[in-house]
Chains A and B, each alone.
Chain A
Amino acid sequence: METAQQEATSAEQKTSIELTGSQAVLEALIAEGTETIFGYPGGAIMPIYDALYDYTEKLNHILVRHEQGGIHAAQGYARTSGRVGVVFATSGPGATNLITGLADAQIDSTPLVCITGQVFAHLLGTDAFQETDVINITTPVTKWNYQVTDANEIPEVLAKAFYIAKTGRPGPVLIDITKNAQLQKFEYKGYNFCNHIRSYRPKPIVRKEYIEEAAKLINEAKKPFVLWGQGVILGSAEKEFAAFIEKSGIPAAWTILGAGAIPSDHPLNVGMLGMHGNYGPNVLTNECDVLIAIGMRFDDRVTGRLDKYAKQAKVIHLDIDPAEIDKNVQTTVPVWGDCKETLPILTELVEAKQHPEWLAKFNEFTRQEVEQVIKDELFPSTEELTMGEVIQQINEITGGEAIIVTDVGQHQMVACRYAKLNKTRSNVTSGGLGTMGFSLPAAIGAKFGAPDRPVIAVIGDGGVQMTIQELGTIMQFDVDVKILILNNQFLGMVRQWQQLFHDRRYSFVNITSPDYVKVAEGYRIPGTSVSKREDLRPALERMLNVKGSFLLEVMVTKENNVFPMVPQGCSVSEIRLK
């Protein structure tokens, strides 16, 4: 089918053609290079779905089982592909079901364009059927949102939506389109990409004098320490980042969303930051003399107690979002800008160095952590299985090539701590919002975003029951997702806190599970459940070698705790190994 886009451009500026608002929406998506839409139809978005009927060769639509599943899938897609995830939902409940995903995408800076249907413009404010005030509900959880009541606005508004979603610090955008605008015929004059909005400055101006100042601090430093976050991945600056730490010889640790920007086994990668991060990076944050934060936002789960956080250090903060500078940690030298641009300038100015003694300190802490925590987690001598050994086995089988999509809780911390990641965009998790139920739908999207890579959804027995309906999506579209449920028969992270901080008063953390293998079977997904060590490896190999989706439930020890841990209200250097 020849699309209207081609018609309009090929016909030598044939002035314009008549399109409906709905067709204009789909033309915009095609022009923006969208391949996959995750959505769910309903009354107020029916004209768009009607138009979609004629566009199925150009646009792949994945019918999810719940709008929350749709938006998490779009997030997974955006995270593994680096492109804008697109979601369709109807008005009212369809739109409100997007809220959790919007909040998640907002806090984790994921580029999305969500298109919601809305009641007819003349019905706005009349409590019409399936009418909710979507614009006002979504304002705090979107980078930008806009309501279209006239089809003439659609091409320009969608161009703006994509531009805003993907530029600067990325984020979710929601466009609410009233039904009359979807149906309205108008003179379509082609699609023009947006590359500038006069009130919006996606990237702050790079100020070289501050980079020079930063380089001076780094060159004088005896114990410099780099913290990196997702900004490195969002800015596609992995190479620039590696070049910087390799020249300056500075040990570097990652936030949970920064995982995988450089390979896990890179000699300068000293591990994970934060509450359940590695021992050395947390303790030595309070010993370094210059702290260089790159594309991260000093979340409270990373910093612990702020008044005892890196007080001895001079802080250099590289970020694209000026509002992040000095938000939580007082910066000595701010470096505003896209780290893809600022890092090469900084690398040029820093002296080639190595810090063997300083790096040895990290290694000494690693040795202690291996001895006291990691050994027992990855190679347990207990009868029952641990979460860590499951991840270790996956590392051995895949060699670190898989995309790991995690949910939220103990398994998330274990998976992120121990998963070997060779490539960037291999770690998809709900970081800032901590959304249980994220993993299963996000893994679906992750697979569409990176179809050539194995995708493993690692999920707890709590989280999987929050969005388990997306097994239907996996079934219907033959999505090759490996579903790994680490079942400890508890809401483990809450139980851990209740054990440590609430005198073991286990209040409603005891969660029962269905027979997941039977549930999967109902969805025509093969699966198995294991609880013995000798069965684990063959089951994992079967899961990873089978063509198509597979569900593997691993029964793990019930009351394991994730350590190390920075208890709430404590400094990072007060991290506990037990």
Chain B
Amino acid sequence: MTAYIPNPEKQEYNITVYTENQIGLLTRIAIIFSRRKINIESLNTSPSEIESIHRFNIVITETEAVVRKVCRQIEKQVEVLKVYYNTNEDVIWQEMALYKVPTDQIAEKALVERLLRENGARAVVIRHDYTVFETTGHREETDALIERLQPFGLIEFVRSARVMIIKDSEGFNRKLREFESLEPGQEVSENEFLNSADKVFSM
């Protein structure tokens, strides 16, 4: 039994969900939050170390009591294997951001080299009309570079969802591998007919 720790303070929680790869599962998970009017601040889906098993990384700001209940509701879904929730201290996390700025501005007015070094950024594309920088880090770091680039006519900014790895132990890995070796996952079945409308007789 997990001891109940009263925690009235809301804080960021990182939720990791291991699932089968199934169409519709994203909705099934997302509505568990929207039903309770909880805003999803970041959502990432990706494969896990096991090919057929996917993982969701979801970030919300809530109390632990609410997060725990929400996680139990997620874990209850038929195609969900396991759910963990962690505070920021318990995970290694990263977000990636891209910034597009006019090349003439940045080349003429900024000390580009210093800017990049100080913000751990790198140039991904340099064209005569614009340059795209990339940086990876915590929210404060990606935010900081926005402020630095704003005076140079920042054209476009985008930040990825958060990806995180739980610090503690080897996580769910052994169990997952066991799962997979006992019963390999099934391939997702997609609609094969969307592009063959003309060839199908229907009414």
Interface, chain A (partner B; CB < 8 A): 120-126, 135-136, 139-140, 143-147, 149-150, 153, 164, 179-180, 197-200, 210, 321-323, 326-327, 330, 333-334
How far, in Å, is A204 (CB) from chain B's closest CB? 11
B80 is contacted by which of A136, A140, A199 (Cβ under 8 Å)?
A199
13 further A-B contacts with Cβ under 8 Å, apart from A121-B193, A150-B189, A199-B20, are A120-B202, A122-B194, A123-B202, A124-B194, A135-B24, A140-B35, A147-B23, A164-B78, A199-B19, A322-B76, A323-B76, A333-B1, A334-B1
Q: Decide if B202 touches A179 in the complex (CB within 8 Å).
A: yes
Q: Is B10 an interface residue (CB 8 A)?
A: no
Report Cα–Cα, A321/B182, bound state, in Å.
25
9 sample A-B contacts, Cβ–Cβ < 8 Å, listed by A number: A121-B193, A122-B194, A123-B202, A180-B202, A198-B182, A199-B79, A199-B80, A326-B68, A327-B72
Report Cα–Cα, A197/B191, bound state, in Å.
23
Q: Is B31 an interface residue (CB 8 A)?
A: yes
Interface string of B2-46 (1 = CB under 8 A from A): 001000000000000001100110011001000100000000000
How far, in Å, is A447 (CB) from chain B's closest CB? 32
Given A144-B78, A150-B189, A153-B189, answer yes or no on A180-B27 (Cβ-Cβ < 8 Å). Answer: no
Report Cα–Cα, A327/B69, bound state, in Å.
7
Interface string of B175-202 (1 = CB under 8 A from A): 0000100110100010111111100101
Q: Decide if A136 touches B24 in the complex (CB within 8 Å).
A: yes
Given A199-B79, A323-B72, answer yes or no on A330-B4 (Cβ-Cβ < 8 Å). Answer: yes
Contacts of A136 in B (CB 8 A): 24, 27
Q: Is B73 an interface residue (CB 8 A)?
A: yes
Given A121-B192, A135-B24, answer yes or no on A200-B4 (Cβ-Cβ < 8 Å). Answer: no
How far, in Å, is A221 (CB) from chain B's closest CB? 19
Given A122-B202, A140-B35, answer yes or no on A145-B192 (Cβ-Cβ < 8 Å). Answer: no
B31 is contacted by which of A139, A199, A334 (Cβ under 8 Å)?
A139
How far, in Å, is B161 (CB) from chain A's closest CB? 22
Report Cα–Cα, A327/B36, bound state, in Å.
14
B193 is contacted by which of A147, A149, A326 (Cβ under 8 Å)?
A149
Contacts of B69 in A (CB 8 A): 323, 326-327
Contacts of B193 in A (CB 8 A): 120-122, 149, 180
Q: Decide if B197 touches A122 in the complex (CB within 8 Å).
A: yes
Residue of A nearest to B1 (CB): A334
Given A122-B200, A140-B35, A199-B19, answer yes or no on A322-B189 (Cβ-Cβ < 8 Å). Answer: no
Contacts of B183 in A (CB 8 A): 198
Given A139-B28, A199-B79, A330-B4, answer yes or no on A149-B192 (Cβ-Cβ < 8 Å). Answer: yes
Q: Is B75 an interface residue (CB 8 A)?
A: yes
How far, in Å, is B112 (CB) from chain A's closest CB? 47
Q: Is B81 an interface residue (CB 8 A)?
A: yes
Residue of B nearest to A327 (CB): B69
How far, in Å, is B57 (CB) from chain A's closest CB? 18
How far, in Å, is A525 (CB) from chain B's closest CB? 39
Contacts of A146 in B (CB 8 A): 24
Contacts of A124 in B (CB 8 A): 191, 194
How far, in Å, is A439 (CB) from chain B's closest CB? 28
Residue of B nearest to A121 (CB): B193
Interface, chain B (partner A; CB < 8 A): 1, 4, 19-20, 23-24, 27-28, 31, 35, 68-69, 72-73, 75-76, 78-81, 179, 182-183, 185, 189, 191-197, 200, 202
Q: Decide if A121 touches B194 in the complex (CB within 8 Å).
A: yes
Q: Decide if A122 touches B1 in the complex (CB within 8 Å).
A: no
Given A122-B202, A145-B24, answer yes or no on A323-B73 (Cβ-Cβ < 8 Å). Answer: yes
Report Cα–Cα, A124/B191, bound state, in Å.
9
Contacts of B73 in A (CB 8 A): 323
Residue of B nearest to A198 (CB): B183
Report Cα–Cα, A73/B68, bound state, in Å.
37
- Interface core residue of B23, B196, B202 (most chain A CB under 10 Å): B202
For the complex of A and B, list the 8 residue pairs with the smallest distance between their C-beta atoms, beginning with the closest: A122-B193, A121-B193, A323-B72, A122-B197, A120-B202, A144-B78, A200-B78, A199-B81
How far, in Å, is B202 (CB) from chain A's closest CB? 5
Contacts of B35 in A (CB 8 A): 140
Contacts of A143 in B (CB 8 A): 78
Contacts of A140 in B (CB 8 A): 31, 35
Q: Decide if B189 touches A122 in the complex (CB within 8 Å).
A: no
Q: Decide if A197 touches B78 in the complex (CB within 8 Å).
A: yes
Given A150-B189, A199-B20, answer yes or no on A139-B194 (Cβ-Cβ < 8 Å). Answer: no
Q: Decide if A139 touches B202 in the complex (CB within 8 Å).
A: no
Report Cα–Cα, A149/B190, bound state, in Å.
8
- Interface core residue of A164, A199, A323, A334 (most chain B CB under 10 Å): A199
Q: Decide if B197 touches A123 in the complex (CB within 8 Å).
A: yes
Report Cα–Cα, A147/B81, bound state, in Å.
21
How far, in Å, is B35 (CB) from chain A's closest CB? 7
Q: Decide if A120 touches B200 in the complex (CB within 8 Å).
A: yes
Report Cα–Cα, A123/B196, bound state, in Å.
10
Report Cα–Cα, A535/B19, bound state, in Å.
63
- Interface core residue of A143, A144, A197, A323 (most chain B CB under 10 Å): A323
Report Cα–Cα, A146/B28, bound state, in Å.
12
How far, in Å, is B196 (CB) from chain A's closest CB? 6
Report Cα–Cα, A150/B189, bound state, in Å.
9
Report Cα–Cα, A186/B46, bound state, in Å.
34
Contacts of B23 in A (CB 8 A): 147
Residue of A nearest to B79 (CB): A199
Report Cα–Cα, A136/B27, bound state, in Å.
7
Residue of B nearest to A143 (CB): B78
